[in-house]
Amino acid sequence: MIIRKLFKLNNAHIVRNCYSERCKYSLHAHTADLEVFFEAMQLDNAGMVMDFGVTKNVFKPFLKMHENACLFWKNDSSEYKDFIKSKTDNWIELTFSPSAEQLSAYFYVYFNSFLSRLKLANNEDPEIKLHKVRYHETRTGWAESNNVDLISIMIDQKRILMINEMSPVVKQKLEKINEELGFNLLGESEIKVEAPTLQVREIK
């Protein structure tokens, strides 16, 4: 069975080396829809693949870091990067050019990491998987990534999909998020989810 959670995200970028004159030369913004799909062969005590509340509490905070941020490629010109850093406090420098394709894979990488660290406590399928991530850059255009794509992008094409540097404001935002969550979002420690109180007998 597969479940899907929809998130919204606002950010700005330039995508270098593409055909579109507007996209490769002009800083522009998008209100993106991010669809995250989870897959499991068995349901938990509530009859769910995974409680949507878990996705909201664990996965959504990562998106908050990117809200209204300017995303740019570390290999862009120093002139452009310095200009962005001088004009906004809300920026994230990425190791890749922020195309919809690479952003979908980027969010897949981080969300898959969060899922691997999750310690669920409601009899969820121990083999629950991140099925895919779909990044709608516009109403009519989206890119989708799954585990097979990551092997191609990250191994065959030797692309690293991660954060290279964050502005002090984004770092402060991350520190606040970590404090509220009770764990380091970008760390490696377990993410424990407290077991719910059972109203009826546990399903065996």
User: What was the pLDDT predicted at 202?
Assistant: 61
User: What was the pLDDT predicted at 45?
Assistant: 92
User: What was the pLDDT predicted at 150?
Assistant: 83
User: What was the pLDDT predicted at 125?
Assistant: 97
User: What was the pLDDT predicted at 204?
Assistant: 61
Report residue 160: phi and psi, to 5°: -100, 125
User: What was the pLDDT predicted at 185?
Assistant: 93
Q: Which residues of the chain have pLDDT under 50?
A: none
Q: Beta partners for 92?
A: 71, 166
Rounded CA-CA distance 101/17 in Å is 14
In sequence order, which ranges of the chain are alpha helices (DSSP H)? 21-25, 52-54, 60-66, 78-87, 100-117, 147-150, 168-181
Distance of CA 152 to the CA centre of its chain: 19
- For the stretch 86-128, pLDDT in tens is 999 999 999 999 999 999 999 999 999 999 999 999 999 999 9
Residues 6+ apart with CB under 8 A from 16: 24, 73, 76, 97
Secondary structure of residue 98 in the 3-state scheme: coil
- The pTM of this model reads 0.92
Domains and CATH numbers, the chain: 2-192 (3.30.479.10)
Q: Beta partners for 72?
A: 93
Rounded CA-CA distance 157/160 in Å is 9
